[in-house]
Structures are given as structure tokens and as C-alpha cells.
Structure 1
Amino acid sequence: MPLSREMRIKVEKGPQKRPLVAVLKTTPETVLRDYGRLLELARLKDALDPSLPTIVKLNLSWTKYFPACSTEPWQLDGVLKALFEAGFRRENLFPVENKTVVTDPLKGAENNAWLPVLKRYDLEFIPLPGVKWVRYRPKGKLLKLDQIFPEGIYIPEMFIGKQVLHLPTLKTHGHSVTTGAIKNSFGGLLQEVRHYCHKYIHEVLADLMVIQREIHPGIFAVMDGTVAGDGAGPRTMVPRIKNVILAGADSVALDAVAAKIMGFDPLAIPYLRLCHELGLGVADPREIEVVGEDIGGMNFGFRTKRSFVIWGDQMIRKGPLRPFEHLLLHTKLVAWAPLASNIYHDCLWYPTVGRSRIREFQKTGWGRLFRRYAGEE
């Protein structure tokens, strides 16, 4: 009897493998070695081809250094060391980061101690505002991104056809509940005006997974949770020393495991549920294979809060100030928003609350390690 079309599809596909996420405990003394082991456990070479050009997408949430906020220097160091040991070539690695209306990638690379690490590996940091951006027409159906930018979606031309390796940190986010591998593409594939997406952030993150799967021949992510961010992320957080690192080729699965470790139900987070339902990855922890550490007893008890700036943004985009959204955020008057953000974050919060939290962090092993990377010890 001939097979039905449905049965033929099942036979051709065969049994579906569960996505793999590696989780390890680490220390400041062993972190570089542990990153090498992590990438082996997560089967880096099954996801990325060492002979192909690879975007190394850093994560800059603040031009200033704040623990857990942006890619940590030991995270970058450990991953690059592991890449070279795995046969990746210097000429095929492209470390990049973008800007927002409130961040400067070059100053951020300096303040977050990326530049000394990149110099040691003879790699050049590439600020994305300086590269060519081209209009991209997704083949797959999008939920919101094409409606937010009806004039066209523009992405860095250099991303098309290259593999990507994301370097997020383990933290909460006032707009998206948690943030990680998926949202790291938000800072690479969209231009400075990506804050227009905040109103529909969950749908946009699913859309970005669609685009990533179309343009990248391979995707991999390595998440640092040595010091993790709890509370009003992605900036005004409480740093928590958690000593974990994670990696995987399924960004949805990696973010789901990170969310579970933080104490959230992954399928209750809209962007993870959307990606799962659309077949863009696996967000159900029961369908994910975790190797390395047993995470059954891990629950950091994190809670997402909103900073004053994110609270104000949501009041305008979704709350009682919504009638004024166009005037305040889509006209020349929008200049007030980044000014207000910089005043609150850089002039008020960072020198007071932030400085106090940094002082406490500097007393830890990770704080001392950062000072060494920054040349302060």
C-alpha cells in the first residue's frame, strides 16, 4: 500500500532529536577551561563549521560596565580560546556589536574590557553602525516586524550567509521577562530605531528567529551566568553570583533552560511560547536534553521588575499615555526619550545604587577577575 503524504513526511524526517543544552558550574580560576568543556558538551562542531565565516555577536546593554549586563570578558576569552582550539581561523571570525539610542559600541567595548581580549587574539572589533545595511525580504511569514517597518527591514549585509555565535548573559528584562540568545539577535539584525519594537517585543523576537534561520547556515549561543542579573533588567539589576555557564545550538531551548533555572516557566513567557508553537525551536523543558549539571534542583528565584525608564516606556506604548505615543515617540520630540534614559541611568542610578552594587561585586572572585581584565589589578 502506498504511503500517505503525511506518512511519507514522517518517514523522510525520521525520529526528531531532542535539542541539547549544556550547563556547567564554574569558578573564576577554571572558567576558561570550563568554557572549552562546555562547547564540547554542547557539540559546537555539529552546529558550526570551523571553515566558514562566523559572526561573534557580543551583547552590549550598557556603555558602562555593570555586572551581568553585557558580555563578560572571561566569556569572550573562554569562547574564543575554545574556537581556536576547535580549528576556527582568525580570518573567519568577526566580533560585532551594534548601537542603540543610548549605547556606544566602541566605548562599550572598552568599558567592558572586550578590547584587550580581542587584541590578544588579533581580532578586530566591528561596530555595526559602520557596516553596510541592506533591505531584507523574509521568505517566511512574520508576525509584526514587517508591520512595524513597512518601508523595509534592514539588516547588516555582512550577516547574510555567515554563521552566528551569540554571547548573551543570564538576566531578566523588563520588556521580555528574560533575555538571552534570541534577544541578542535584536541588537544585531535591527538598526538603532529598534526601540519601536518594544510594544510587540515577543512577536518581534519570534520574527527574528525566522530571519536568523533564513540567513545563517549555523546558529550557536553561549550564555554566561557566572554573575546573573535579577530584577529590573537589562541594566538596573541586582547582580547574583551563580557560577553557571550554558550553551546550545537551539536558541529557544537555551533560553528556555535559562528561564527555568532563573525560576520561570518557559512556556509562560510569550516569546518562548511563540517560538515553540511556530516550530522555531523547543521551549518545553520536558523535550530538551540537558547535559553537564543536573539542573533539577536549580531555582534562582529571580523576579522580573521594571526600571523607571521601562515603566515609562510601557505607559506610553501600552498604558494610559498611549494616546500620546505618536507625538512622544514618533516625531522630532522623541529626542526627550534617550535624554531622559541617559539622565536616569548614567547620572542618577549608576553613581548611587549602581556604584554600591558594583563595590559589593568587586569583593567577589568574579569582581577581582574583571578588574584584572580591565587592567585595574
Structure 2
Amino acid sequence: MSKVVVLKTDPKTVLNDYQTLMEKSGFEKLVPKNKEILLKLNLSWSLYYPACSTEPWQLEGVVKYLTEKGYSPDKIFPVENKTVVTDVWKGAKGNKWLSILKKYGLKFYPLTEEKWKKYKPKYKLSAIPKLYPEGHLIPEIMKGKSVIHLPTIKVHGHTQMTGSLKNAFGGLITERRHHSHKMIHEVLVDLLKIQKEIHPVIFTVMDGTVCGDGAGPRTMEPKIKDYILASDDPVAIDAVSAKMMGFDPLKIKFIKMANDQKLGVGNFKNIKIIGEDISKVNFRFKTKKSLVIFFDQVLRTKYPVLESLLFHTPLFKMCIFASSFYHDYFWYPVVGKKKIKK
């Protein structure tokens, strides 16, 4: 039976609570100290916005635990990729990751600066070969290392909610991954199969101190919930997160697919919860779609001619500019900053 540790926390004790979370998860038994570890950060916005990207206290809690337990900084590799609308260095600085990594003697490894090579999986994949017939590239740095995913509890306009499985999306597909949106659920399951081949251990530490409701993954309503989660089953932790948000995990396509293919446990009834009793927890979150995600989905599914014109020609640069301008120069200063102050 898969296990997920769920703890309550507060700002005064959050770093110590992350230590407890890792202890209760049995991390030391899973990953020997002489092995290399990836810290897969989550960057959804170059600007800081609550619940949007890996929280600074989430990162520090995990790094503090690892270094104090004797895991060498030389064997810990914090990584993240860019998207067409995010800048990985700007995001690492804006989300306070760089100062934390420096404090503990860790180097940041942007995947934009790593070597990517074609990878031929042993598993049979359903979507990636169709979307990338020329071959699928993954970063060389990802192979052979255990991974700790660092997502937050939040909704997502493309996948209803996002967590551990979606976090691999940013690490194992190039910045062209927006072309995967029309088969996003199948892609996430394909990537889980690849993860199982290249990572000895897939571990997730999820922050729910501030959770994201509404039009995720960026223009959300931050909601203070003060939960933190951990598990070595990425499907189970996503299922628990979905349940806490108020969703039926098995009605979320990628969770059900992974559960049905026995890649993890997506049925909440078959997951052992350690720590808090969350049987009655229901945040009553509702997934909405931002204007950018709405038009992305409409164009990709209903107007294939326009999709080819806008997403596969130089005109795509106009779409990128429009998205960046709307999010960074309108929504964030006009709407986002007010929500942060609340």
C-alpha cells in the first residue's frame, strides 16, 4: 500500500516541520547518502506569486534536511527548465531559490544549459512518439539520479490540478512542450514511465501552506491551508492533493490512467495517510481557465488550421508576447499584487 505523509504547519515552525515530514516519510531508507539526488523545482512564473512555483521555505526545508543528514551538497542537483513565457534565471532569483541554494553550498543547474539527448524508452508510450516523431530529448543530467519533486498544491487549467506528475513535464520535455497540451494527460503518463526507467527513486515533497484556487497555474486565488505532504508514490500524492482540493482523483484523467496502468495508486481508499486525519478535508476548489489557457485549448482542439498558423510559424512569437504582457505587465501589477497583500 502506498503511503502519503500529511502534516499541519505554520510559519514559525515550517522549516522544522519539513524535517519531520522527511523523517516520517523514511527518506533516508529510500536514498543512500552516497547517491546523487535531483531537486526538480517547479517554475510556473518568473515572478513570485504564492502557490505558483516552489516556495522558498519548501526548498529550504528540504535542503536543510538533506545537508543536516549528511547528504553532500556535491551530490545534490537543483534543476529547472524554462518555458516560452518564463526565464529560468529570473525565476530562480525572483522566487528566492538562488539565495537559499547559496546558503547551503548548492549550485543551480538550469536545464537550458545542460545537454539533451534522444531517449528511447523501454516502456511503450502512447503520446510522445506522436507529438515528437523526430525523437524525444531528455537532459543527460536527469539520468541515473533519484529525484525529489517540489510542486505546490494548486489547480491547473490544462489538467484540473497539478502536482508531482505535472512537475516532470518541465524537466523531461524541451521548452517546446506547449505542443503537448492537446494530449497532456497521456504525456504525463508517458513521462511517469520514463521517470521509472531513469530515476531509482521518485520522491515528492508538496507544499500546501498557501494553495492555489481558480485559474491556475498563475492567475490564482491564494488560499492559506498550512499543509505539507510527502510520498515516494507520485500518483498517490497527486491523488491525495486532488482529494484535499475537493476533486475525485479517479475523475482526473492522468491520475486514473496511471492508476489503471499500475504505475502508482490513484484510488484514495487504497492510500495510507500518515499524520493528519484528512478524511473530512475539502478545500472546495474550482478549476477555472485563464484567457491564455482558454484560447490555447480552443485553437488547438477546434481550429487546427489556426493552430498550425499561430503555434508552428513565426506568428507564435506574437502569442508569447501577448501572454507575457498580459501576465507580467497587466495582471500581476494590477491584480496579483493586491492578492499577495491580502
In the superposition, the TM-score normalised over structure 2's length comes to 0.98
The reply on whether 1:123 has 2:129 as its aligned counterpart is: no
Tell me the distance in 1 between the aligned counterparts of 2:305 and 2:256: 30
Deviation at 1:337, TM superposition (A): 1.7
Residue 11 of structure 1: aligned partner: none
One-letter code of the match for 1:261?
M
The reply on whether 1:350 has 2:307 as its aligned counterpart is: no
Deviation at 1:85, TM superposition (A): 2.7
One-letter code of the match for 2:293?
I
The reply on whether 1:322 has 2:304 as its aligned counterpart is: yes
Among candidates 206, 219, 222, match of residue 223 of structure 1: 206
Tell me the distance in 2 between the aligned counterparts of 1:142 and 1:46: 31
Question: Percent same amino acid among aligned pairs?
Answer: 54
Describe how 1:288-307 pairs up with structure 2 within 5 A: 288-307=271-290
Count the aligned residue pairs: 342
Q: Is the radius of gyration larger for structure 1 or structure 2?
A: 1
The reply on whether 1:244 has 2:233 as its aligned counterpart is: no
Deviations 1:191-212 (A, max 9, x none): 0100000011100000000000
Deviation at 1:146, TM superposition (A): 1.2
Describe how 1:1-377 pairs up with structure 2 within 5 A: 18-319=1-302, 321-360=303-342
One-letter code of the match for 2:333?
P
Preserved contact between residue 315 and residue 322 of structure 1 (Cα < 8 Å): no
Deviation at 1:159, TM superposition (A): 0.6
Deviation at 1:332, TM superposition (A): 2.1
Q: Point out 4+ residue stretches in structure 1 off by more than 6 angstroms.
A: none
Deviation at 1:323, TM superposition (A): 3.1
Deviations 1:198-240 (A, max 9, x none): 0111000000000000011111010000000001000000000
Moved more, 323-332 or 34-43: 323-332
Secondary structure at the residue paired with 1:211?
helix
Deviation at 1:343, TM superposition (A): 1.4
Tell me the distance in 2 between the aligned counterparts of 1:268 and 1:43: 30
Tell me the distance in 1 between the aligned counterparts of 2:129 and 2:34: 34
Deviation at 1:293, TM superposition (A): 0.3
Which ranges of structure 1 fall in alignment gaps of 5 or more residues? 1-17, 361-377
Tell me the distance in 2 between the aligned counterparts of 1:303 and 1:41: 31
Alignment root-mean-square deviation, CA: 0.9
Which ranges of structure 2 fall in alignment gaps of 5 or more residues? none
Tell me the distance in 1 between the aligned counterparts of 2:179 and 2:165: 18
Preserved contact between residue 81 and residue 88 of structure 2 (Cα < 8 Å): yes
Secondary structure at the residue paired with 2:257?
helix
